[in-house]
């Protein structure tokens, strides 16, 4: 059984470390890997908005930097100015990152409850889509 409250607290704790001087929208993400490891990430804004890093990017990077594996359970929160957290949905780009790191079975705590990733990102694009167009004998499409 997953302790969603503890996972949400971990996301809130890391959201407090977010670097969000432009929007003030502090985001934290926490997940359990398939081996039980906790991985976290927070958003890091940049004056050149296009290079801002979402919390999910940091989390997926930490997953790979600490041994790889697959994500099994995930939550993302934002903090209000008083520090109270609220569960939020990942943006579309981040849903794709999560799909690649956890697949259809990844459980995501959403504002509407726990959903499998294939409900969060239906008809997702994945590695098997690239396999359909691969040129035999190469690694390239």
Q: Which residues are catalytic?
A: 56
Helix, strand, coil distribution of the chain in percent, nearest 5? 35, 25, 40
Per the CB < 8 A criterion, the answer to whether 56 and 90 are in contact is yes
How far apart are alpha carbons 117 and 20 in whole angstroms? 27
> Which of helix, strand or coil describes residue 20?
coil
73 close to 32: Cβ distance less than 8 angstroms: yes
Q: Residue 29 forms beta bridges with which residues? A: 41, 76
């Amino acid at each position: 059984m997953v302790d969603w409250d503890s996972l949400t607290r971990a996301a809130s704790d890391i959201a407090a470390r977010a670097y969000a001087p432009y929007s003030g929208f502090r985001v934290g993400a926490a997940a359990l890997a398939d081996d039980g490891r906790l991985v976290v990430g927070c958003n890091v804004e940049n004056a050149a908005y296009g290079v801002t890093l979402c919390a999910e990017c940091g989390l997926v990077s930490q997953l790979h930097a600490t041994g790889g594996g697959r994500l099994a359970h995930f939550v993302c929160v934002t903090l209000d100015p008083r520090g109270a957290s609220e569960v939020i949905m990942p943006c579309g780009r981040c849903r794709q990152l999560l799909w690649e790191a956890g697949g259809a079975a990844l459980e995501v705590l959403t504002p509407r409850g726990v959903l499998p990733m294939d409900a969060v990102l239906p008809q997702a694009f994945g590695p098997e889509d690239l396999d359909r167009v691969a040129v035999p004998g190469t690694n390239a499409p």
